[in-house]
């Protein structure tokens, strides 16, 4: 990490806040592992026995979600694999989802949003000048998992998110992915007016219903395992003819272009710094290897093909795109937000005991 994160801090020993934060999270990871993967599986089976599936498992085609599905293979869980198809799947993602679900033998539920809606929302974020252009994708992914669980009457959602590889990310580089007020305000100001009828908007009411009425639990199941991303990728290639994704989150052509081109060119942000820092702390790579890799171009291939595809599918010219790339940068906080109402909600819960009701989240 470096000062491209304006909030980075160093202690008297020259150690940054991220390294210190990672040390704190070690205890959290240990508590996950002590509770045990096998015990968790038994609990999921026990609650799931009266449902058509024990759990839904989100799969993108990347390493984390692919390895998760592999680990569930021998657990005896009745799994419904769920994939949110944003319309930007890379060839690797399509291939990996196909070979994994077929060889493992699980049902696949594909969720997609009307393309004109999703395109309009993505372009609105581009026009708004905010940094986190992947909010529409991440918000929809989260919503798709809960919608699938609700529609199919499934009590658990399992995801490949994990502390081992995804606990370092500057808050100045991202926004609250699930802030529906922020998303709608940006869309209302910069969208083209198409109603978001198929977009699974995660409003506070929808989240309350999922957490407290349906009592759907979301489990970051890789936290309960000894997970090494590099070893996982090698195993997947050997056992499933799995295709490695060229960059982190490169399952999506749009996300690949956003992270590898828009972020460094427009915002001066190289997300590899956060990703590599996490891998260094997890002892997957060395600091020397990471610094060497940072000297290499971010794009592993010619980015022009991605750019041409995106402009064509968006229906915008290169001149329009260049205008969006040079307009004033705005903060997400300049738009409406749910931040204050969430603070009030947390305060109410801390004052009045509700015996397990009014959950803010059921993720663990």
The rounded distance, in Å, linking the Cα atoms of 159 and 138 is 13
Q: Does any domain span residue 57? A: yes
Give the CATH number, domain containing residue 277: 3.40.50.620
CA distance 142 to 146: 7
Can you give the three-state secondary structure of 294-323, one letter per residue?
HCCCCCCCCHHHHHHHHHHHHCCCHHHHHH
Query: How many domains does one find in the chain?
Result: 1
Rg (CA), the chain: 21
Q: Give the CA count within 13 Å in the CB-facing half-sphere of 338.
A: 19
Q: How far apart are CA 261 and CA 48, in angstroms?
A: 43
pLDDT reading at 359 higher than 90? no
In a domain, 356, yes or no: no
Contact 14, 29 (CB under 8 A): no
pLDDT value of position 319: 97
158: left (phi over 0), alpha (psi -120 to 50) or beta: beta
CA atoms of 241 and 66, how far apart (whole Å): 12
CA nearest neighbour of 327 among 336, 319, 316, 317: 319
1 belongs to a structural domain: no
Task: Tell me the sheet residues that pair with 247.
Answer: none
Give 167's DSSP letter: S
Instruction: Give the integer Cα–Cα distance in Å for 130 and 154.
Output: 36
Residues 335/189, Cβ–Cβ less than 8 Å: yes
Q: Is the pLDDT of residue 354 over 90?
A: no
pLDDT in tens, 297-345: 988 777 889 999 999 999 999 999 999 999 999 999 999 999 999 888 8
Give the structural domain span for 263: 17-351
- The mean of the pLDDT values for the chain is 92
In a domain, 82, yes or no: yes
Q: CA-CA distance, 84 to 86, in Å (whole number)?
A: 6
Distance CA 177, CA 352 (A): 28
Beta strand extents in the chain (DSSP E only) = 55-58, 79-85, 107-112, 156-159, 217-220
d(CA 327, CA 151): 42
Q: Confirm whether 339 is domain-assigned.
A: yes
Burial 241-262 (b: 16+ CB within 10 A, else e): ebbebebbbbbbbbbbbbbbbb
Torsion sign, CA atoms 353, 356, 361, 364 = positive
**DSSP label at residue 63:** H
Q: Note the pLDDT tens digit of each residue in 104-155.
A: 999 999 999 999 999 999 999 999 999 999 999 999 999 999 999 999 999 9
Helix (H, G, I), strand (E, B) or coil at 361: coil
Tens-place pLDDT, residues 36-45: 899 999 999 9
pTM for the model stands at 0.93
User: Quick one: which of 134, 159, 139, 136 has its CA closest to 216?
Assistant: 159
Q: Give the model's pLDDT for residue 357.
A: 67
pLDDT in tens, 251-268: 899 999 999 999 999 999
Q: Is 88 inside a domain boundary?
A: yes
CA distance 216 to 154: 8
Residues 217, 156: contact at Cβ < 8 Å?
A: yes
Does residue 50 belong to any structural domain of this protein? Answer: yes
Does 277 score more than 80 pLDDT? yes
């Amino acid at each position: 990490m470096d000062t491209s994160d304006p909030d980075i801090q160093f202690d008297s020993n020259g150690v940054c806040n991220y390294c210190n934060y990672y040390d704190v999270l070690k205890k959290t990871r240990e508590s996950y592992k002590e509770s045990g993967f096998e015990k968790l599986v038994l609990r999921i089976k026990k609650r799931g026995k009266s449902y058509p599936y024990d759990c839904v498992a989100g799969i993108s085609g990347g390493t984390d979600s692919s390895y998760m599905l592999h680990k569930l293979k021998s657990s005896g869980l009745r799994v419904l694999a769920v994939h949110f198809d944003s319309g930007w799947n890379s060839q690797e993602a399509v291939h990996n989802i196909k070979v994994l679900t077929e060889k493992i033998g699980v049902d696949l539920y594909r969720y997609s949003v009307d393309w004109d809606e999703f395109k309009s929302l993505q372009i609105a974020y581009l026009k708004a000048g905010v940094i986190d252009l992947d909010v529409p994708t991440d918000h929809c992914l989260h919503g798709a998992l809960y919608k699938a669980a609700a529609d199919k009457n499934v009590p658990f959602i399992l995801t490949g998110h994990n502390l081992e590889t995804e606990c370092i990310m500057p808050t100045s580089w991202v926004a609250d992915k699930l802030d529906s007020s922020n998303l709608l305000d940006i869309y209302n100001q910069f969208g083209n007016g198409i109603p978001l009828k198929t977009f699974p908007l995660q409003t506070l009411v929808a989240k309350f219903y999922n957490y407290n009425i349906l009592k759907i639990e979301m489990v970051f199941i890789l936290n309960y395992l000894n997970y090494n991303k590099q070893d996982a990728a090698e195993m997947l290639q050997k056992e499933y003819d799995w295709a490695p994704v060229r960059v982190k989150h490169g399952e999506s052509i749009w996300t690949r272009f956003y992270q590898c081109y828009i972020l460094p060119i427009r915002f001066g942000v190289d997300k590899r710094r956060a990703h590599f820092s996490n891998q260094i702390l997890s002892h997957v790579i060395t600091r020397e290897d990471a610094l060497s890799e940072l000297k290499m171009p971010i794009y592993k291939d010619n980015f022009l093909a991605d750019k041409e595809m995106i402009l064509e599918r968006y229906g915008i010219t290169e001149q329009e795109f260049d205008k969006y790339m040079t307009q004033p940068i705005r903060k997400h906080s300049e738009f409406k937000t749910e931040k204050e109402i969430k603070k009030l909600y947390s305060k109410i819960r801390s004052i009045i005991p509700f015996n397990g009701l009014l959950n803010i989240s059921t993720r663990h």
